[in-house]
Chain A
Amino acid sequence: MAEGMRVEPDLEFIKYLKSAGGDTLKKCYQCATCSVVCPLSNDTKPFPRKEMIWAQWGLKDKLVADPDVMLCHQCGDCTTHCPRGAKPGDVLGAIRAYAYIHYGFPSGLAKLVSQGKNLPLIIALPALVILAVWWLSGGMTLPAADAIDFGMFFDSHKDHPTIIGGLTLNVLLIDAIFVPALGFAIFAAYKGVSKMWRDMAAQLEVKTEFRPSAKQFVTEFLVPSIKEILAHKRFKECGTNQNRVNGHLPLLLSFIALFVVTTYGMIRKDILGMFIEGMHGPIPLADPFKVLANISAIALIVGVGILWMNRAHAEEENNATPTFYDWFLIVKIMTVGVTGLSAELTRLIGIPVLAYLFYFMHLVSVLMLFIYMPYTKFAHMVYRTFAMAFEKYRESGFAQKIEG
């Protein structure tokens, strides 16, 4: 054993994996069936067999910097064919969950969001923020008989004059919270992803003389990856859970569309509305943006609903392990969709109590989506995208192995 490798297992890491759906990990006996049946595994250094033994050995540092872990779409083909019920798909999912915490910034927040037992706090934090907005905007009274206007929350124009250029305090506060929250999430994700990239590059042991420029990085690695994601090319190769594309694709497209219309709504109502009277009211239903928004809202609910059913079905078939990590995101997105649509419908029907209540819940769930993005399963959006870019980098001329 003079030449042997010294394995220094990280026991905490193994314990975390077991708690996060990777409890089947130790059943693996390294037959490598998974690496062959995986439709996303490449021909040179396939996965997830090697990840399984690294995880058994507790080699945390190797795993969090392993792009293959992020490339996995957890379609479950490996789990279906696994002769031991070791569920490699779930183990890789657990490693990803761990990686988001590992790279999460600030780490305290990342750790908080990773555990189901913290759920009350996870919900209470954004709920208190939005309640404060509600209170500060002068609401907390029974809704007035006025037409429902979410720009007012429970307040009315008459009692509380607008602050700047026709904007209410409520709108200002929401903008002042949500825009920085999004900025913070993007910054945190950037910090995490760039650390992951550095770790991955270090593991690759490549020459560093030739580095891609920022432009090359975007055009040669990042944009092709995003195109691949939009086309769901890899998702479609999955055998066991083909139906997931039908859920994930509308969900992804609706997210993009809703981001566009929300940004449009903010510019139109909160910026243009300061100068043009009447622009800060609800957008008419016939407006193309409003039409897109409504279609997207339905697509979002349908998409996440399909994913919800698929996941429940896979768990019933014992093909996936139920985890807080997976269900938190599914339920959160469902909440965003259902509360948003319900708020709109009750507003149109004219039930102020329900409309404002749904609006409140909608704001809370959207804020949760924003601030927890870099640490929850939602983080796959950035981590996997960059891992795919890294894969392209790894195969490019920039990443030549050090000879010898």
Chain B
Amino acid sequence: MTDERSAPAGAVLVVGGGISGLTAALEAAEVGKDVFLIEKNPYLGGRVAQLNQYFPKLCPPSCGLEINFQRIKANRRVRVYTMTEVKSVTGGPGKYQVTLESKPRFINNNCTACGACADACPDERDNDFNFGMNKSKAVYKPHDMAFPMKYVLDKNACSDAGLQAVKDACKYDAVELDMAAKEFTVDVSAIVWATGWNPYDPTKMTNLKYDSSNAIITNMMMERLAAPNGPTGGKILRPGDNKEPASFAFVQCAGSRDENHLEYCSYICCMASMKHINYIREQYPTAKITVFYIDLRTPGKYEKFREKLMSDANITWVKGKVADIVAEADGSVTLIAENAVTGDKIKETVDLAILATGMEPAAKAQAAALGLSVDSNGFILADAEGGMVSAGCAKKAADVVTCGQSATAAAMKAIQASRR
């Protein structure tokens, strides 16, 4: 990686290293643009990296991400900065000055990911990659196929003795305890905002009482539970007591299509829940599953996916939104809804309830400070002058396929802006 200030004119900044950002960065770089790709996390891959499988072909994330990582490695025009965020943007189309800040990783490029430091480290931290369902050492590899393949040290979670142990354990002199945050500025002609999404905070739906029971999880937690590199090694078990659930229920539109929360449809949750049913069926072929929904949105060819699941006799489909969840003494939960087709009130007790929480644009809180124009829901709007483009879930709630398309389109717009 060369000095960032020496980039030739017409460079593109891509903010966010998820599937959209990777795509936009590569599309721009592969036609000859210089690209700065920055990512807030210590690894690339974003939300897709956290999934067990993803649409359209139910591939493991290693499938699509690996090829993109190879392309990045092979392309000298892409400069990647992890643990880096945008501090401020000045200038205009064709000549933006963007101030970036990299947080210290405390592990330098000598790291070979041998893991000796983690073995030696006595301290632990909540593993946010697994939504806190397990712990990792305070010095950790973000996940098995992290890119860049380097450890990260969470200094706040580490005792002084722990820091010393970590430093002593490294044979390659990769631990730099005095590494400091670094601020730097890049000159770019266009910015692609691919800042992605966060799962909507389930505690905000007070009537669903997310905090009242371990038997209530979110759809993203379900991905981690089912993932081979997840907290349970891919076995779907109830957090807390590791019980094999005998029954499951899906709470669709948990926070989406709700003007008190996210007023839009998050687009992915119906198919995500159906995908989760597939995960469950692989491990529990006859477990009882109930899906509570308002409408099932299975666009295009996914209709077939739905039809297949609907022929499963052990799956009940209830048109009616869950509006109350009661934690039971035995660790299960009772979901309460009205079946809008029959008009009966339903109380369904299950071992594991999955809230199909929606997508909240990640840049929502930061957008105003950065001078981004956003719609009423916090999705980033394209700048009329053309220098700022949004892609993927920063633009609208979308699946991976749509993100790929919008990221390619964003790359095209960024290239056009840089040629003016």
What is the bound-complex CA distance between A50 and B319, given in angstroms?
Answer: 13
Chain A proximity mask over B298-323: 1 for CB below 8 Å, otherwise 0:
00000000000000000000011111
From known contacts A31-B321, A32-B323, infer whether A83 and B258 are also in contact, taking CB-CB under 8 Å: yes
A-B contact pairs, 13 of them (CB 8 A): A29-B257, A29-B295, A30-B319, A31-B253, A32-B321, A32-B338, A32-B340, A35-B345, A36-B322, A36-B324, A42-B345, A83-B261, A84-B259
How close is A36's CB to chain B, nearest CB, in angstroms? 3
Q: Which residues, 12 to 63 on A, are CB-close (under 8 Å) to B?
A: 29-37, 41-46, 49-50
From known contacts A30-B294, A31-B253, A35-B338, infer whether A81 and B344 are also in contact, taking CB-CB under 8 Å: no
Interface presence of B220 (CB below 8 A): no
Are B338 and A46 closer than 8 Å at their CB atoms? yes
Interface presence of A85 (CB below 8 A): yes
Chain B proximity mask over A184-222: 1 for CB below 8 Å, otherwise 0:
000000000000000000000000000000000000000
Are B345 and A30 closer than 8 Å at their CB atoms? no
Are A36 and B337 closer than 8 Å at their CB atoms? yes
Q: Report chain B residues within 8 Å CB of A29.
A: 257, 294-295
Q: Report chain A residues within 8 Å CB of B295.
A: 29
Are A33 and B259 closer than 8 Å at their CB atoms? no
Q: Report chain A residues within 8 Å CB of B336.
A: 36
Are B257 and A81 closer than 8 Å at their CB atoms? no
Output the residue of A31, A45, A84 with the most chain B CB within 10 A.
A31
What is the bound-complex CA distance between A193 and B347, given in angstroms?
Answer: 35
Are B258 and A36 closer than 8 Å at their CB atoms? no
What is the bound-complex CA distance between A33 and B337, given in angstroms?
Answer: 7
Are B321 and A45 closer than 8 Å at their CB atoms? no
Are B324 and A37 closer than 8 Å at their CB atoms? yes
What is the bound-complex CA distance between A42 and B338, given in angstroms?
Answer: 11
How close is B206's CB to chain A, nearest CB, in angstroms? 9
Q: Report chain A residues within 8 Å CB of B294.
A: 29-31
Q: Report chain A residues within 8 Å CB of B371.
A: none
Are A32 and B344 closer than 8 Å at their CB atoms? no
Q: Closest 4 CB pairs between A and B?
A: A83-B258, A36-B323, A32-B338, A35-B338
What is the bound-complex CA distance between A35 and B324, given in angstroms?
Answer: 11
Are B323 and A50 closer than 8 Å at their CB atoms? no
How close is B80's CB to chain A, nearest CB, in angstroms? 41
- Total inter-chain residue pairs, C-beta < 8 Å: 65
How close is B413's CB to chain A, nearest CB, in angstroms? 35
**Nearest residue in B to A84 (C-beta to C-beta)?**
B259
Interface presence of B343 (CB below 8 A): yes
What is the bound-complex CA distance between A146 and B305, given in angstroms?
Answer: 92
Are A49 and B260 closer than 8 Å at their CB atoms? no
Are B343 and A81 closer than 8 Å at their CB atoms? no
**Nearest residue in B to A42 (C-beta to C-beta)?**
B345
Interface presence of B286 (CB below 8 A): no
Q: Which residues, 65 to 110 on A, are CB-close (under 8 Å) to B?
A: 81, 83-85
Interface presence of B207 (CB below 8 A): yes
Are A32 and B259 closer than 8 Å at their CB atoms? no
Q: Report chain A residues within 8 Å CB of B323.
A: 32-37, 81
| Interface size, chain A (Cβ < 8 Å) | 21
Are A32 and B258 closer than 8 Å at their CB atoms? no
Contact of A83 among B257, B319, B343 (CB under 8 A): B257
What is the bound-complex CA distance between A245 and B347, given in angstroms?
Answer: 30
Contact of A32 among B260, B320, B347 (CB under 8 A): B320
Q: Report chain B residues within 8 Å CB of A85.
A: 259
Q: Report chain B residues within 8 Å CB of A37.
A: 207, 323-324
How close is B115's CB to chain A, nearest CB, in angstroms? 47
Are B320 and A31 closer than 8 Å at their CB atoms? yes
Contact of B343 among A31, A33, A45 (CB under 8 A): A45
Q: Report chain A residues within 8 Å CB of B320.
A: 31-32
Output the residue of A29, A36, A46, A49 with the most chain B CB within 10 A.
A36
How close is A4's CB to chain B, nearest CB, in angstroms? 14
Chain A proximity mask over B250-280: 1 for CB below 8 Å, otherwise 0:
0001000111110000000000000000000
Are B253 and A46 closer than 8 Å at their CB atoms? no
How close is A157's CB to chain B, nearest CB, in angstroms? 67
Are B338 and A49 closer than 8 Å at their CB atoms? yes
Q: Report chain B residues within 8 Å CB of A45.
A: 343-344
Q: Report chain A residues within 8 Å CB of B337.
A: 32, 36
What is the bound-complex CA distance between A81 and B336, given in angstroms?
Answer: 14
Are A30 and B340 closer than 8 Å at their CB atoms? yes
Q: Report chain A residues within 8 Å CB of B347.
A: 43
Q: Report chain A residues within 8 Å CB of B258.
A: 83-84
How close is B159's CB to chain A, nearest CB, in angstroms? 46
Output the residue of B261, B320, B323 with the most chain A CB within 10 A.
B323
What is the bound-complex CA distance between A321 and B194, given in angstroms?
Answer: 41
Are B345 and A36 closer than 8 Å at their CB atoms? yes
**Nearest residue in A to B342 (C-beta to C-beta)?**
A45
From known contacts A81-B260, A83-B259, A83-B260, infer whether A50 and B324 are also in contact, taking CB-CB under 8 Å: no
Q: Report chain A residues within 8 Å CB of B253.
A: 31, 83
Contact of A44 among B207, B319, B321, B344 (CB under 8 A): B344
Are B321 and A50 closer than 8 Å at their CB atoms? no
Q: Which residues, 326 to 345 on B, are CB-close (under 8 Å) to A?
A: 336-340, 343-345
What is the bound-complex CA distance between A45 and B339, given in angstroms?
Answer: 10
Output the residue of A29, A81, A85 with the most chain B CB within 10 A.
A81
Are A49 and B324 closer than 8 Å at their CB atoms? no
Q: Report chain A residues within 8 Å CB of B257.
A: 29, 31, 83
How close is B203's CB to chain A, nearest CB, in angstroms? 16
Output the residue of B257, B338, B340 with the most chain A CB within 10 A.
B338
**Nearest residue in A to B258 (C-beta to C-beta)?**
A83
Q: Report chain B residues within 8 Å CB of A50.
A: 343
What is the bound-complex CA distance between A42 and B343, given in angstroms?
Answer: 11
**Nearest residue in A to B205 (C-beta to C-beta)?**
A81
How close is A326's CB to chain B, nearest CB, in angstroms? 24
What is the bound-complex CA distance between A397 and B331, given in angstroms?
Answer: 39
What is the bound-complex CA distance between A341 and B321, given in angstroms?
Answer: 51
**Nearest residue in B to A41 (C-beta to C-beta)?**
B345
What is the bound-complex CA distance between A133 and B347, given in angstroms?
Answer: 63
Q: Report chain A residues within 8 Å CB of B339.
A: 32
Q: Report chain B residues within 8 Å CB of A32.
A: 319-321, 323, 337-340
Output the residue of B294, B295, B324, B343 with the most chain A CB within 10 A.
B343
Q: Report chain B residues within 8 Å CB of A34.
A: 323
Q: Report chain A residues within 8 Å CB of B340.
A: 30-32, 49
What is the bound-complex CA distance between A45 and B345, given in angstroms?
Answer: 7
Are B345 and A44 closer than 8 Å at their CB atoms? yes
